[in-house]
Amino acid sequence: MTDAEDFPQIYLITPTEIDLMTYPDRLAACLDAVPVACLRMALATRDEDRLGRAADALRAVTETRDVALVIERHTGLVARHGLDGVHLLDGSRGVAAARKTLGEDAIVGAYCAQSRHDGMTAGELNADYVSFGPVGQTALDDGARAELELFDWWSQMIEVPVVAEGALDAALIAQIAPHTDFFGIGDEIWSQDDAAAALRTLQAAFR
């Protein structure tokens, strides 16, 4: 992080499937409830038409609230739909190509799992941020976690902004908050009936 008095910002992550009849309103409620720095469109589909329609619908919500909108993986859709950038899932491997394609003004972020080396390489390749996770315990993938030590080291040694994401709860957020710039929050709130209220509850733990 920067100064000790600064708190992390919210980096919101969409569900992997969304209903365009209802989700934009749920999203708007969250963006109106608390300050959000960025939204990641993280849809599982590879259908270009569905991705395009979702991107346009979400941009209509984020633009009026001055929230950056990045898309997961699909660099080729950024310019076409007026998005702010791309979030890559392959560590540092795609950063240079994405930067060349999108230019210096676009956001290029890289998920680096628990790899300090991948994160450092992504930063050297001009990534705007690096994300590590999952922070919480999960049975998904190999069960490995991004531990507090990684964020502590990064915050002291590296200037590239860092995102903590994955299986977060209030206790983990309070523990990691002094050592991260952003919290990537997604399923933690979308699984709740009132996502905006859930987001406010998690945000309270930042302090």
The closest of 64, 62, 80, 50 to 24, measured between CA atoms, is: 62
Q: What percent of the chain has pLDDT over 70?
A: 98
Mean pLDDT of the chain: 96
Model confidence at 4: pLDDT above 70: no
pLDDT at 197 (0 to 100): 98
User: Distance of alpha carbon 170 from its chain centroid, rounded?
Assistant: 17
Does the N-terminal peptide bond of residue 24 adopt cis geometry, omega within 30 degrees of 0? no
Q: Which residue has the higher pLDDT, 66 or 141?
A: 66
List b or e across 129-145, with b for residues whose CB sees 16 or more CB atoms inside 10 angstroms. bbbbbbbbeeeeeeeeb
Tens of pLDDT, residue by residue over 146-164, are 999 999 999 999 999 999 9
Model confidence at 2: pLDDT above 80: no
Question: Which distant-in-sequence residues (6+ apart) come within 8 Å of 1 by Cβ?
Answer: 8, 155, 178, 179, 180, 181
CA angle, corner 132, sides to 128 and 133, nearest 5? 150
pLDDT at 141 (0 to 100): 87
pLDDT at 3 (0 to 100): 41
Q: What percent of the chain has pLDDT over 90?
A: 94
Tens of pLDDT, residue by residue over 121-131, are 999 999 999 99
CATH class for the domain made up of 9-204: alpha beta
pLDDT at 39 (0 to 100): 99
List b or e across 33-49, with b for residues whose CB sees 16 or more CB atoms inside 10 angstroms. bbebbbbbbbbeeeeee
Tens of pLDDT, residue by residue over 28-69, are 999 999 999 999 999 999 999 999 999 999 999 999 999 999
Model confidence at 8: pLDDT above 90: yes
Name the least confident of 2-11, 89-98, 186-195. 2-11
Model confidence at 81: pLDDT above 80: yes
Q: Are strands 9-13 and 182-185 parallel, antiparallel or unpaired?
A: parallel
d(CA 195, CA 186): 10
Question: Which distant-in-sequence residues (6+ apart) come within 8 Å of 165 by Cβ?
Answer: 11, 13, 111, 131, 132, 133, 134, 135, 183, 184, 185, 186
* Confidence band, pLDDT 50/70/90 cuts, at residue 5: low
Domain boundaries defined on the chain:
9-204
The average pLDDT across 124-139 equals 97
* Confidence band, pLDDT 50/70/90 cuts, at residue 187: very high
pTM of the model: 0.96
